[in-house]
Amino acid sequence: MKKNWQIFFHAITWLSLIAFCVFIFRDSEDISLRRLFILFGLYGAINISLFYINYLLFIPRFLNRKKYSLYILSVLVTMAAYAIGKYCVGLLFVDDVLMHNVMVGTKATRQSISFWSYFVSTFFTSILFVFLSIILKFSTDWFLNERIQRDLENQRLSAELAFLKSQINPHFLFNSLNSIYSLAYQHSENTPGAILKLSEIMRYMLYECNDNKVDLSKELQYLQNYIDLQKIRFGNNAQIDYKIDGEVTDQKIVPLLLIAFIENAFKHGIGNDTQSPIIMVISIDKEHLQFYIENKKYTNNRDAIGGIGLSNVKRRLDLLYPGKYNLQIRDEIDTYTCELSLVL
């Protein structure tokens, strides 16, 4: 089907060019309708055939394979053959092709065109059609290659995003199970509630995060569930200052984008310090989101393995919000602060 459209497009283009030339010269006194048909119809078809011989045969077989000498030789021989052939055709229509008006004094007389004069003029006409075919071929190949490269880049980015997202679930589950394990180890009565919260969180991650973007309201509810899970872990000692400013309407956001910052605060911060609570503020308007989080650092709780959460979210921001976000992280002696400004 695509090939048929290409043939149709080429045919319409050539017919339009021939019709345009006929329209331009139709009122000329020394060009009859018969001569118009011969010059633009018959000879136009001959020149077009040269265009496609170069476009479909010589360029793919020689030029694309860097056989430059063979290409130049083939083109020159073909153009010379075409010039001779067109002269032979002209012998069948001498008055229309091989004769031209010459002014002698005040009178116009008809004179024949010599073979070499006709050969040179038609040879240069052939060069024009060869040049046009080269331009079309390389333009087509360039756009095709650009599209292929763009598709490959999109596939690469999609694969990378899928990989980054696949890291989130195990990373989150690993941290959450550690929290629930602590509750179970202490025989806490909050363990069943923590497991229920975890199941709600996992349901969201498994079934509602498959789209590129989700409703901001659902993402905020997911964050609330995670914070509630952490509150269960800390019990009455939880010191968490979490608030949302602004109106949530129909805004969309990439799923699982903010959770890494919150996980990091709970994992490496102190969640039961009355003097330094974990502070989380999300400010929302129609097209922007600002996220601020601050926690006091618990220096004795260092992850020997090292987290992947923040490096993951930075890469996802680069891929999904290029030029549309600003992330500032301040890692000070006793506090850790993140500020994210995002164009939704």
In this structure, the answer to whether residues 286 and 221 fall within a common structural domain is yes
Task: CATH number of the domain at 211, please.
Answer: 3.30.565.10
pLDDT tier, 291 (very low <50, low <70, confident <90, very high otherwise): very high
Round to whole Å and give the CA distance between 98 and 106: 22
Q: Model pTM greater than 0.75?
A: no
- In this model, does residue 110 exceed pLDDT 70? no
In this structure, the answer to whether residues 339 and 236 fall within a common structural domain is yes
pLDDT tens-digit readout, 229-259: 878 777 667 788 889 999 888 899 988 888 8
- In this model, does residue 305 exceed pLDDT 50? no
In this structure, the answer to whether residues 198 and 302 fall within a common structural domain is yes
pLDDT tier, 172 (very low <50, low <70, confident <90, very high otherwise): low
**Of the residues 100, 134, 150, the one at which a domain ends:** 150
What is the H or E stretch that residue 52 is in? helix 43-53
Is residue 173 a part of any domain in this protein? no
Q: Residue 106: what pLDDT?
A: 59
Mean pLDDT of 154-160: 59
In this structure, the answer to whether residues 139 and 239 fall within a common structural domain is no
pLDDT tens-digit readout, 320-343: 888 899 999 888 888 889 999 999
Residue 171 phi/psi, 5-degree rounding, is -65, -45
Is residue 235 a part of any domain in this protein? yes
**Of the residues 128, 150, 172, the one at which a domain ends:** 150
In this structure, the answer to whether residues 194 and 308 fall within a common structural domain is yes
- In this model, does residue 288 exceed pLDDT 70? yes
Mean pLDDT of 274-290: 87
Scored b (16 or more CB within 10 A) or e, 207-231 reads eebeeeebbbebbbebbebbbbbbb
Q: Residue 282: what pLDDT?
A: 94
In this structure, the answer to whether residues 32 and 137 fall within a common structural domain is yes
- Least confident residue range of 12-16, 43-47, 155-159, 187-191: 155-159
Tokens of 112: 């024949």
In this structure, the answer to whether residues 143 and 194 fall within a common structural domain is no
pLDDT tier, 283 (very low <50, low <70, confident <90, very high otherwise): very high
Residue 308 phi/psi, 5-degree rounding, is -110, -5
Which of 260, 279, 258, 271 minimizes the C-alpha distance to 298?
A: 271
In this structure, the answer to whether residues 70 and 192 fall within a common structural domain is no
- In this model, does residue 11 exceed pLDDT 80? no
Q: Residue 159: what pLDDT?
A: 56
Is residue 254 a part of any domain in this protein? yes
In this structure, the answer to whether residues 146 and 193 fall within a common structural domain is no
The pLDDT mean for the chain works out to 79
- In this model, does residue 16 exceed pLDDT 80? no
Name the pairing type of β-strands 288-296 and 335-343. antiparallel
**Of the residues 97, 130, 150, the one at which a domain ends:** 150
Taking every pair of C-alpha atoms in the chain, what is the biggest distance, in angstroms? 120
| Percent of all residues in the chain with a pLDDT value above 70, rounded to a whole number | 79
Cβ(255)–Cβ(219) below 8 Å: yes
- In this model, does residue 100 exceed pLDDT 80? no
Is residue 8 a part of any domain in this protein? yes
In this structure, the answer to whether residues 75 and 124 fall within a common structural domain is yes
- In this model, does residue 41 exceed pLDDT 60? yes
- Least confident residue range of 24-28, 142-146, 172-176, 247-251: 24-28
- In this model, does residue 318 exceed pLDDT 90? no
Higher per-residue pLDDT: 162 or 79: 79
Cβ(292)–Cβ(325) below 8 Å: no
> Which residues face 295 on adjacent strands?
336
- In this model, does residue 1 exceed pLDDT 60? no
Q: Residue 170: what pLDDT?
A: 65
In this structure, the answer to whether residues 123 and 9 fall within a common structural domain is yes
Q: How distant, in Å, are the alpha carbons of 205, 222, 265, 284, 298 from that of 217?
A: 14, 9, 22, 11, 31
Higher per-residue pLDDT: 226 or 156: 226
Is residue 182 a part of any domain in this protein? no
- In this model, does residue 157 exceed pLDDT 70? no
Is residue 161 a part of any domain in this protein? no
Q: Residue 284: what pLDDT?
A: 92
Per the structure, the count of domains in the chain is 2
**Domain hosting residue 137, numbered range:** 2-150
pLDDT tens-digit readout, 189-240: 778 878 888 888 878 877 777 777 889 999 999 899 888 887 877 766 778 8
Is residue 174 a part of any domain in this protein? no
Is residue 155 a part of any domain in this protein? no
In this structure, the answer to whether residues 75 and 201 fall within a common structural domain is no
